[in-house]
Amino acid sequence: MKNRKPTEEPPEVITDPGRIYKIIHHVYQQRALLTALFPEQAYKGNCIIVGVNRGDKELLINKLSPELAHTRFIKERSIVFISLLDGVEIAFRAKLKSLINENRDSYYLVKLPERLSYHQKRGAYRADVKYHDPIPVSISLDDGSQLNGLIDDISNGGLSISFERHIPLSLQIDNTLASCSFTIPEKQNIACELNIRFIQHIHEKTAPRIGAKFRKLSKEDHQKIMQFVMRLERLKRRQLFQ
């Protein structure tokens, strides 16, 4: 955190239980690495989340490696984990409830965190569209079908789109969507290709979503998007400080 550039957005501190669960569940689904840092020692520990129980507000995490990190967590019963997922640095404190030993493996049962730090690390800052009217997106697939969604966030380099219906299982990371179109304010039509960088299929109450980079974006459309991102940021600041 100390090495953050002055122009970077500060981390968002999330306390809403619903949002925390969704983020933690995303980390679990993607099997993203958790890293425990020990500043005064010359080592760090790594592990992953292997289970999430929303009802009991608990996480199941596999044993830290190396052994020194495991020993320290057992002793102190509280530790800060950091994970980098989809260009976002996530940090939270895990409080140990119990140690589970099963089939020669060890797991930590920890409380679902009540606070979570969410820090945008993308090269291009993504502006949240929730402060603006919904922006529909239309994607034409290779089989001739149409995929319609709404923009969640957008940057100069890409966007995130959520969908009400299932995403076809044929879509994979690194696939190119050759025909995507949407309209931003002042009826400015944007047409581009998208390269899929992230896919989240429907799970419980989580909406299907993709994250993608722009491809074959004209200079004119790129300028339109830059101006729209700046407009969204100004709108967000006005909403926050009203």
Question: What digits encode the pLDDT tens for the residues 102-158?
Answer: 888 899 999 999 999 887 655 555 677 776 788 999 999 988 899 999 998 888 888
List CB contacts of 13: < 8 A, sequence separation 6 or more.
Answer: 115, 116, 117, 118
* Per-residue model confidence as pLDDT tens digits over 82-99: 998 766 789 999 999 999
d(CA 205, CA 208): 10
pTM of this structure:
0.50
* Per-residue model confidence as pLDDT tens digits over 162-207: 998 888 888 887 889 999 999 988 888 999 999 988 887 765 456 7
List CB contacts of 198: < 8 A, sequence separation 6 or more.
Answer: 86, 160, 173, 209, 210, 211, 212
> 233 or 102: whose pLDDT is higher?
102
Beta strands in 69-187 (DSSP E): 78-85, 88-102, 105-111, 116-120, 127-128, 136-140, 146-154, 158-162, 176-184
Is the fold of 12-120 the same as that of 127-237?
A: no
Question: Dihedral sign, CA of 140, 215, 128, 220?
Answer: negative
CATH 2.30.110.10 fits 12-120, yes or no: yes
Domain boundaries, given as residue ranges, for the chain: 12-120, 127-237
Highest CATH level, class, for 127-237: mainly beta
